[in-house]
Amino acid sequence: MKRHLGFLSTLLVGALALTACGAGGTTTGSKSFVSGNGTVTFLTPSSRVPAPAVYGKTLDDTDYSLAKATVAVVNVWASWCAPCRAEAPTLAALSLKYPKVSFIGVLTRDNVSTAKAFITRFKIPYPSLKDDSILLGFHNSLIANAIPSTVIIDKNGKVAARISGEVTVASLTDLIDRVSAE
C-alpha cells in the first residue's frame, strides 16, 4: 500500500508540474516538453515585479551580467526544440535592429556542444547562458512556462511581458516598442 501511494504521489507531482507549464504539450523522441502557442502576456507597470538577476557564464565560458536600466529580451531555448529553430532568425534579426536592447539566451535541457552548433548555424549575435536557476527567479511573475519562452524586462528591471512559445517579428517588435517607449 505504501509503495502504491508513493507511486501515486510521484505521478501526481509530475502531472501537476507538466500542467502548470501551460497549454499544449508535445513529446519528441526522448525529450518531453511543453510547447507554447505564442500567447503574449503584457503587464501594466503597476503590476510588475522585479526580475531576477540575470548573470553567469556564457556558453563560451565568459562572464555575463545583464546591464541595469536597459530593456532586455530573455529567450529560453534548446537546440532540439523545433519552435526554437523557427524563431532563431527572428531573434537574431531583432537583436541587430534594436542595439540598445539587451538580448540574452538561456539554454535549457540541452548540451553545450549542440547549443554552440545551433548558435553558429543561426548566426545568433547575442550571448546565451546555461543556468536553469535563472528561470526559477521568475517564479513570482511571468515564468518561462514553455520552450521556447521569451520574457521582456523593462528599464526598471521589472518583468513586463512574456511570449509563451515561438516569437514572431510582429509580437516581439510590438513588445519591445511598447516597453522601450515607457
| Residue of 179 and 32 predicted with greater confidence | 179
Least confident of 20-34, 66-80, 152-166: 20-34
70 phi and psi angles, rounded to 5 deg: -140, 150
Q: What average pLDDT does range 29-48 have in this prediction?
A: 69
Q: What average pLDDT does range 2-26 have in this prediction?
A: 35
Q: Class of 24-181 per CATH?
A: alpha beta
| Residue of 83 and 134 predicted with greater confidence | 83
Say what the pLDDT of residue 37 is: 67
The letter for the amino acid at 106 is: V
Give the whole-angstrom CA distance, residue 52 versus residue 72: 12
Q: What average pLDDT does range 134-143 have in this prediction?
A: 79
| Residue of 162 and 143 predicted with greater confidence | 162
Residue with cell 515561438: 166
